[in-house]
Amino acid sequence: MNPILTVAAKEFRDDFRNRWTIALTILFALLALGIAWFGSAAAGRVGFTSFDATLASLTTLGAFVIPLIGLLIAYDSIVGERDDGTLLLMLSYPLARGQLVAGKFLGHCGALAAATLAGFGLAVTIMQWMQPPEQTMQAWLQIARFILSASLLGASFVGLACLISVQTADKSRAAGLALVGWLVSVVLFDLALLALLVVSGGNPLERAVYPYLLLFNPVDVFRLVNLTALGDGAGNDLLTGMTAHHVYPPALLYALLLGWAVAPFAWALLAFRRKEI
Amino acid sequence: MNHPIECHALAKHYGELAALDGISAVVPRGQVIGLLGHNGAGKSTLIKLILGLIAPSGGRLQVLGQSPWRAHALRRRIGYLPESATFYGNLSGRELLDYLARLKQAPRAQVATLLERVGLAHAADRRVGTYSKGMRQRLGLAQALLGSPELVLLDEPTTGLDPQATRELYRIVGELRADGRCVLVSSHLLAELEPHIDGALILRQGKLLAAGSLHALGEQAALPAQVLLRPRELAMGELLARLEAGGVSARPRPDGRLELQVPRAGKLRMLRELLADPAIVDLDVREPTLAQLYDWLGAGPPSTAEVAA
User: pLDDT (tens digit, 9 = 90+) per residue, B149-178?
Assistant: 999 999 999 887 889 889 999 999 999 999
What torsion do the CA atoms of B81, B82, B83, B87 make, to the nearest 10 degrees?
A: -100
| Poorest-pLDDT segment among A163-172, A246-255, B29-38, B183-192 | A246-255
CA gyration radius, chain A: 20
Residue B307 lies in a domain: no
Kindly report the CATH number assigned to the domain that includes residue B41: 3.40.50.300
Would the pLDDT of A234 be above 50?
Answer: no
Q: How far is CA B229 from CA A42, B226, B283, in A?
A: 102, 10, 5
Same-domain pairing of B99 and B185: yes
Same-domain pairing of B100 and B242: no
Domain count, chain B: 2
Would the pLDDT of B217 be above 80?
Answer: yes
Would the pLDDT of B203 be above 60?
Answer: yes
A6, A86, A94 member nearest B72 (Cβ) = A94
Instruction: Return the pLDDT at A142.
Output: 82
Strands in B250-252's sheet, in edge-to-edge order, are B250-252, B258-262, B225-231, B280-286
User: Which chain B residue is nearest to residue A93, measuring alpha carbons?
Assistant: B75
Residue B132 lies in a domain: yes
The domain boundary, picked from B176, B193, B219, lies at B219
Kindly report the CATH number assigned to the domain that includes residue B269: 3.30.70.120
User: Which chain B residue is nearest to residue A96, measuring alpha carbons?
Assistant: B72
User: A166: domain range?
Assistant: 3-274
**Cα–Cα distance for residue pair A13/B84, rounded to 1 Å:** 26
Percent of chain B with pLDDT over 70: 97
CB spacing of A93 vs B102 below 8 angstroms: no
Same-domain pairing of B271 and B132: no
Same-domain pairing of B161 and B37: yes
Q: Does B14 touch chain A (CB under 8 A)?
A: yes
A181-214 confidence digits (pLDDT tens): 999 999 999 898 888 878 877 677 677 777 888 8
Q: How far is CA B263 from CA A260, B123, B208, B219, B224, in A?
A: 75, 53, 27, 11, 4
Residue B14 lies in a domain: no
Global pTM? 0.87
Same-domain pairing of B197 and B254: no
User: What ipTM, to 2 d.p.?
Assistant: 0.85
Same-domain pairing of B88 and B130: yes
Same-domain pairing of B165 and B41: yes
Domain count, chain A: 1
pLDDT band at residue B50 using 50, 70 and 90 as cut-offs: very high
Residue B17 lies in a domain: no
Would the pLDDT of A108 be above 90?
Answer: yes
Q: What is the 3-state secondary structure (H, E, C) of chain A?
A: CCHHHHHHHHHHHHHHHCCHHHHHHHHHHHHHHHHHHHCCHHHCCCCCCCHHHHHHHHHHHHHHHHHHHHHHHHCCCCHHHHHHCCHHHHHCCCCCHHHHHHHHHHHHHHHHHHHHHHHHHHHHHHHHHHCCCCCCHHHHHHHHHHHHHHHHHHHHHHHHHHHHHHHCCCHHHHHHHHHHHHHHHHHHHHHHHHHHHHHHCCCHHHHHHHHHHHHHCHHHHHHHHHHHHHCCCCCCCHHHHHCCCCCCCHHHHHHHHHHHHHHHHHHHHHHHHHCCC
B171-191 confidence digits (pLDDT tens): 999 999 999 999 999 988 888
Same-domain pairing of B184 and B228: no
User: B258: domain range?
Assistant: 224-287
Same-domain pairing of B264 and B172: no
Residue B5 lies in a domain: no
Same-domain pairing of B172 and B278: no
Least Cα distance to A238 among A270, A275, A269, A196 occurs for A196
Same-domain pairing of B85 and B172: yes
A6, A85, A96 member nearest B102 (Cβ) = A6
Using beta carbons and an 8 Å cutoff, which residues of A are at the interface with B? 1, 3, 6-7, 10, 14, 17-18, 84-86, 88-89, 91-96, 276-277
